[in-house]
């Protein structure tokens, strides 16, 4: 008899929980911990913070635990309330995008030629 193969895993599991690469998960967990610490340093309760970012306390708790399903808008609201919104604005500065700039430079032509000029017919 043949063996039963488990179903292929997709980026969404059966419980609608996002499956993300380990480095992404670690970064989100760190962000959540940092947001939690920043909130507590400002002496904000979870209830107060949730009201300020216009979400539920349970969503804020998920955010502080690093849940990858939290919308970027909610994270931006939290950063705004904490006075750190400029850090989101500068996350991916295109002028500092070394990979993107390298890829663009690889596509530059070897030389640039001027357009051929049409000969004048001499008539006015």
Percentage of the chain modeled with pLDDT above 90 = 54
**What domains lie within the chain, and their CATH numbers?**
22-106 (1.10.260.40)
Angle CA(90)–CA(94)–CA(96) in degrees, nearest 5? 80
Query: Rounded to two decimals, what is the model's pTM?
Result: 0.67
Compute the 3-state secondary structure of the chain and give helix, strand, coil in percent, each to the nearest 5: 50, 0, 50
pLDDT at residue number 58: 98
The span from the CA of 62 to the CA of 113, in Å, is 57
Residue 83 confidence (pLDDT): 96
Tens-digit pLDDT profile for residues 33-78: 999 999 999 999 999 999 999 999 999 999 999 999 999 999 999 9
Task: Return the closest-CA partner of residue 53 out of 71, 31, 34.
Answer: 71
């Amino acid at each position: 008899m043949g063996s039963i193969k488990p179903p292929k895993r997709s980026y969404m599991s059966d419980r609608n929980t996002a499956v993300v690469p380990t480095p992404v998960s670690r970064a989100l967990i760190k962000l959540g911990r940092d947001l939690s610490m920043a909130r507590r340093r400002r002496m904000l309760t979870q209830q107060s913070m949730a009201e300020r970012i216009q979400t539920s306390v349970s969503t804020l708790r998920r955010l502080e635990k690093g849940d990858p399903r939290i919308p970027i808008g909610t994270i931006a609201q939290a950063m705004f309330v904490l006075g750190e919104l400029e850090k989101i604005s500068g996350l991916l500065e295109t002028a500092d995008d070394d990979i993107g700039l390298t890829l663009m430079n690889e596509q530059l032509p070897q030389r640039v030629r001027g357009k051929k000029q049409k000969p004048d017919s001499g008539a006015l």
